[in-house]
Amino acid sequence: MSELDLDSVREIRARNPERVGELARARARRPVFGNSGRIMIVAADHPGRNAFGVRAESMAMADRRDLLARLVLALSRPGVDGVLGTPDILEDLLLLGALEGKLVFGSMNRGGLQGAAFELDDRFTGYDPDGIARMGYDGGKMLARIALDDPATARTLQACATAVSQLANRGLIAMVEPFLSSWEHGRVRNQLTAEGCIRSMGVCSALGVTSAYTWLKVPVVDDMERVMAATTLPTLLLGGDPAAAPEETYATWEKALGLPGVRGLVVGRALLYPPDGDVQNAVDTAAALVRPDLGGERS
Looking at residue 232, its amino acid is: T
156 within 8 A of 185, measured Cβ to Cβ: no
> What's the rounded Cα separation, in Å, for the pair 205 and 232?
9
User: How far is residue 124 from each of residues 74, 132, 133, 160, 219, measured CA to CA in Å?
Assistant: 28, 13, 16, 9, 22
Residue 294 has pLDDT above 90, yes or no: no
SS3 at position 73: helix
Residue 298 has pLDDT above 70, yes or no: no
Average pLDDT over residues 112-124: 96
> What's the rounded Cα separation, in Å, for the pair 250 and 289?
8
> What's the rounded Cα separation, in Å, for the pair 98 and 206?
35
Closest to 208 measured CA to CA, from 260, 182, 172: 172
Confidence band of 240 (pLDDT split at 50, 70, 90): confident
Neighbours of 113 (CB within 10 A): 16
Quote the pLDDT of residue 242.
72
Mean pLDDT of all residues belonging to the chain:
95
Quote the pLDDT of residue 2.
52
Q: Which domains, and CATH codes, for the chain?
A: 6-28+38-292 (3.20.20.70)
**pLDDT by residue (tens digit) across 274-284?**
999 999 999 99
Q: Collect all residues with Cβ–Cβ distance below 8 Å to 203 and sequence separation of at least 6.
A: 144, 146, 157, 178
Sort strands 187-190 and 214-219 into parallel, antiparallel or unpaired: unpaired
Closest to 177 measured CA to CA, from 202, 141, 224: 141
Q: What is the length of the chain? A: 299
**pLDDT by residue (tens digit) across 163-187?**
999 999 999 999 999 999 999 999 9
